[in-house]
A and B are shown apart, each in its own frame.
Chain A
Amino acid sequence: MIKDLRILIVEPSPERVREIVDALSKAGWSDVKAVAQISALERTVRDFAPDIVLIDLANPDRDMLEHISHATETSKRAVALFVDQTDEDLTQAALSAGVSAYVVDGLKMDRIKSVLQTAIARFKMMRQMQSELDAAKQALEDRKTIDRAKGILMRQRNLSEDEAYKLLRKTAMGQNRKVIDVAHALVTAADLLS
């Protein structure tokens, strides 16, 4: 749920950090950390594993943040960025391009909640899309493995394709395992023996 979000603030000014933390806790988010220094950023992103990172658009540490996200496979993370000038077009363009949430009016505290909600919604959508993609890839891999296992059984036991699959399924049910796990075991064993 939204309440569980971990939020990291990258901001050198302690005053501004306090304002943001206040606004976030009023909105119901308390799992918040702030870093000011570039040297602390890398470690904190790895250890704290934030769901959302807030960083000013003008902050040069953004290149480093991108690199860390890239290196730690957390590109699915939403990064909310604050711009200092009022520009509704830019916000819209950025949101539809689908990378970041750009906030108008710099850090207007009354808007922080709605902006973060937008970022979170995007984050969820991206994560959903990513996991669907991962699932599709996995399904494809699984099918390849099962096909190979069937092929082995067809050759070794002289079975038809249908019979081979039935044997896999029967074995899986008998051992209370998934078909794919049995297929994996069979393929591995065959590789070892070949």
Chain B
Amino acid sequence: MSVTTLNCGYVPLVDCAPLVIAKELGFASEEGLALNLVRQPSWSALRDMLALGHLEAAQMLSPMPVAMSIGLGGLPAKVDTLMVLSVNGTVFGVSTALAADIGPVSFGDANALLNALSRRKGKPLRIGVPFHYSMHQLLLSYWTSAMPDLRIEEITVPPPRMADAVASGFVDAFWVGEPWGTVAVQQNVAQIVMSGRDVWQFAPEKVLAVRHDWVTDNPNVARRLMRAVYQASAWLDEAQNKHLAVEILGRSEHLSVSPDLIDPALTGHIVPTLNAHPLKIDRFLQFHKHAATFPWRSQAAWIASQLGADAAGIQKAKDCFRSDLYRQNLAGIGADMPGASEKKEGALQFETAVASTRGHMILAPDAFFDGRTFDFTTPFR
């Protein structure tokens, strides 16, 4: 098999791990791929480079391919999601001043936190998010829309500057991917008060994205890339591999932050305030188990509906989450496949066994904080 060089864009965050591991531990080279990971300064730059053909593949925020498919924001390119790279992994934090203002709220209680925030008087809350078309922003607006009186202002802040933005009072709170929440806590300028999964327990966070035309023209390379990333994600979810993963990720060419700051997200032990005891959070950041990598078409539909898409837009969104390619390309390496490509989002309160190609698989809870469910299998108005 000849070696194919593949330029793949990423943004330095803990959840770029599947791409870094695929390269560093040789999962890519086993598939005959020389994975050239190209660090990107911003999500807009990454999107443009992918759309313009300077990157063959990229780690994207899960709403980005959906937004592009329904014609929102940026270049009108058709971009597909081959698989999900990570589920959950974000945190919501408040400045020290705001924490004092709202008083104690038990960690992860999304309803109590919402009530505490809306009791607060004064100017609208300024909340930092990394990008407009991000799961952070969708979860934030889904969560706060339950309390129409709570006035918020969404401010885009590059994640590495989130801690400074809180310290200077530029934002009152933030929703950010790790390690940047932990960085703000370690600088003693903020507290983490809940994780993304407290609003939606199984939110697709980052995805592996390619141009629609590219995957049509290069089905073989796409299959090899998917297999390499799939193997990397399986390796990452094994408990005994976490420490090595932390070390590899911390290397300067990838994240260039201290391993102490990467460890909490990978092991699911989040330190909410400086010097506090770490809280163990199940599935804080999931790479592989519970069909985490499967691109559910219903996840795309939920994203599109939150972006205000109509029925046609929701269909386009579903089409760009390529569960068809996932089934076709990963069945050969023993990946278990769910019986359906859509599920009722938010319906699972507990771990649940469902039919799969190899018998049955366990899906993780995917409930929303308010108990709502979303069924996009029937025609949506």
The answer on a CB contact under 8 Å between A100 and B48 is: yes
Q: Which secondary structure dominates chain B's binding surface?
A: loop
Known contacts A63-B131, A66-B132, A100-B48: A57-B156 contact under CB 8 Å: no
Q: Which residues of A are found within 8 Å of B158, using beta-carbon distances?
A: 38, 60-61, 63-64
Given A97-B75, A99-B74: A62 touches B52 (CB 8 Å cut-off): no
Residues from chain A with Cβ under 8 Å of B42 in the complex: 59-63
Contacts of B54 in A (CB 8 A): 90
B41 at the A interface (CB under 8 A)? yes
Given A59-B42, A63-B43: A94 in contact with B156 (beta carbons within 8 A): no
**Is there a chain B Cβ closer than 8 Å to A42's Cβ?**
yes
Q: A39 CA to B51 CA in the complex, in Å?
A: 29
Q: Which secondary structure characterizes the binding site on chain A?
A: helix
- Residues of A in contact (CB 8 Å), total 22
Which of A42, A60, A68 counts the most B-chain CB atoms under 10 A from its CB?
A60
Interface pair B161/A60, CB less than 8 Å apart: yes
Residue A192 at the chain B interface, CB threshold 8 Å: no
A57, B52: Cβ atoms under 8 Å? no
Query: What residue of chain B has the Cβ atom nearest to residue A68's Cβ?
Result: B156
- Cβ contact within 8 Å between A60 and B74: no
Does B365 sit within 8 A of A, measured CB to CB?
no
**Cβ of A121 < 8 Å from any Cβ of B?**
no
Instruction: List residues of A (42-73) whose CB comes within 8 Å of B's CBs.
Output: 42, 57-64, 66-68, 70
Instruction: Give the residues in chain A near B154, CB-CB below 8 Å.
Output: 67
User: Is the CB–CB distance between A66 and B74 below 8 Å?
Assistant: yes
Q: Is A93 an interface residue (CB 8 A)?
A: yes
> Given A38-B158, A63-B44, A64-B158, 12 other A-B contacts at CB below 8 A?
A39-B170, A57-B41, A59-B41, A60-B42, A63-B158, A64-B155, A67-B156, A70-B73, A70-B132, A90-B54, A97-B52, A98-B75
Give residues in B with beta carbon < 8 Å to A: 41-45, 48, 51-54, 73-77, 130-132, 154-158, 160-161, 165, 168, 170
Instruction: List 18 contacting pairs A-B, 8 Å CB cutoff, sorted by A.
Output: A38-B158, A38-B165, A38-B170, A59-B42, A61-B42, A62-B42, A62-B44, A63-B132, A64-B155, A64-B156, A64-B158, A66-B73, A66-B132, A67-B131, A70-B73, A93-B52, A97-B76, A98-B75
Using a CB–CB cutoff of 8 Å, the interface residues on chain A facing chain B are 38-39, 42, 57-64, 66-68, 70, 90, 93-94, 97-100
